[in-house]
Amino acid sequence: MDAALETIQQCGATADGATRRKLVTSLNQLIFSMESPSDTIHRYGHMSLQTASIRVGFDLGLFKLLAEAERPLSVDQVAQAKGTEPELIHRIMRYLTTVGALSEVSSSQFQANNVTRNLTDNVVVSGLGHYLNTVEPAYRALPAFLKRTGYKTPQDGIHTAFQDGWSTQLSSFQWFGENPKHLAYFNEYMASRRQPETSWLSVYPVAQEVKGWDAKDGKQALYVNVGGGIGHQCKQFREWYPNLPGRVILQDLPHSIEKSLSTPGVENMVHDFFQPQPIKDAKFYFLRGVLHDHPQCHARKILEETKAAMGPESVLLIDEMILPGHDVNTIAASIDMTMLTALAGMERTESQWGATLREAGLELVNTFMYNPLMAV
Ligand SMILES: C[S@@+](CC[C@H](N)C(=O)[O-])C[C@H]1O[C@@H](n2cnc3c(N)ncnc32)[C@H](O)[C@@H]1O
């Protein structure tokens, strides 16, 4: 058995991203296939305890403390640094070790591992800040919501499990406007959830597409990022193409524009994408992670408003997941269920994308893949 584990470990250490993901999926399936009834009780039954304990770890700054320590720390050292009772912190760390978040090197000595270090990474901190603080109450409300609504696909973004979970009548995005701490986690997570090198810019031939396009002395819009958050993709676009003429415009709701980056060469503009698009004839209209937030009728409205502004040379770029017809991985399936829970939104297969575009009088012309990891 040791030899088999070593082979798997070596395979994981040398695998590229897609192989690594396949390996993780296969190993999880293998674990499930060996699970006893007792394992199943404790795996599902204690899932909320895992997330609760991770929150405790964040609240205490435990992961940072261990990740920054040069050697393992004793329970007493951690207790002293964090002002906790040694016995209590020992129990917390012992539990966190069993769920992979820490390593126990000897009796009452703990050290950081790969997961501990992940838990100090900005994208993980903001991502978990978003899921654990903002989305979690909506997950808890989902079973009762689905029962009450007769197990029908939610079609209304202001009547979802999110509104039940937070006892609000606001849409999730309006609610963010009134909850700045939650908005900050969300914006930070949206900005950093994909590595800069995994960008649509690495596969889409922007320079070739704009050849011969007339920027009208820079007055014409080159790139309009609709629902673009606080402007990280606009910044990235300007960094990749500093010399392309034409306006680069970020559009979002007032509370996001208020927090947006000031990037030279980027205009920040308040615009509600359910209203007529004020920027006409842009070369590129770009929607990343926007349409999946919405049920079909709202996605259609956003597309129709964009289409109405497009000129003969405009291109609509949609940066979203394309779900495979089967074997959807757990991350993609989880995001799909999260969209359903919080926004009545959905992830789509290629044929669902084609249909969504056709409904708005548009045509899916081409697809480019820059992050195959989400597809395996
Ligand atoms: C999932 S986030 C994606 C943000 C960004 N495109 C990205 O990929 O990082 C969706 C964005 O749509 C914005 N949004 C929601 N409703 C909007 C509306 N009616 N008009 C304009 N933007 C809106 C949100 O504020 C948020 O920034």
Over the chain (376 residues), the average pLDDT of each successive run of 10 is 90 87 91 97 97 97 98 98 97 98 95 98 94 97 98 95 97 94 91 75 95 95 97 95 96 95 97 98 97 95 98 97 91 96 96 95 94 60
DSSP string, 128-152: HIIIIIIIHHHHHHHHHHHHHTTS-
Domain boundary among 103, 118, 133: 118
The angle subtended at Cα 348 by Cα 275 and Cα 144, nearest 5°, is 85
Are 169 and 267 within one domain? no
Q: Determine the pLDDT at residue 21.
A: 85
Question: 173 CA distance to ligand 1 centroid (A)?
Answer: 8
Q: Determine the pLDDT at residue 153.
A: 95
The best mutation among 131, 135, 173, 279 to test binding of ligand 1, ranked by most ligand atoms within 8 Å of the C-beta, falls on 173
Q: Determine the pLDDT at residue 273.
A: 98
Q: Are 339 and 347 in contact (CB under 8 A)?
A: yes
| Kind plus residue range of the DSSP H or E element containing 3 | helix 2-14
Question: 257 CA distance to ligand 1 centroid (A)?
Answer: 10
Question: Considering its fold, how many domains does the chain have in total?
Answer: 4
* Residue 68: strand, helix, or coil: helix
Domain that holds residue 162: 122-192
Are 103 and 224 within one domain? no
Q: Residue 42: how many CB atoms within 10 A of its CB?
A: 13
Q: Which residues approach ligand 1 with their CB closer than 6 A? A: 173, 190, 227-229, 252-253, 256, 272-274, 288-290, 293
Domain boundary among 192, 224, 247: 192
Residue 373 lies inside a defined structural domain of this protein: no
Are 259 and 321 within one domain? yes
Enter the pTM of the model.
0.91
- Catalytic residue list: 292
Q: Determine the pLDDT at residue 160.
A: 97
Are 284 and 204 within one domain? yes
Question: 291 CA distance to ligand 1 centroid (A)?
Answer: 9
Greatest Cα pair distance in the chain: 71
Q: Determine the pLDDT at residue 99.
A: 97
pLDDT digits (tens, 9 = 90+) for 247-294: 999 999 999 999 999 999 999 999 999 999 999 999 999 999 999 999
Are 228 and 288 within one domain? yes
Q: Determine the pLDDT at residue 376.
A: 37
The best mutation among 290, 304, 346 to test binding of ligand 1, ranked by most ligand atoms within 8 Å of the C-beta, falls on 290
Q: Determine the pLDDT at residue 373.
A: 64
Q: Determine the pLDDT at residue 117.
A: 98
* Residue 239: strand, helix, or coil: helix
Cβ contacts of 48 within 8 Å, gap of 6 or more: none
Question: 241 CA distance to ligand 1 centroid (A)?
Answer: 23
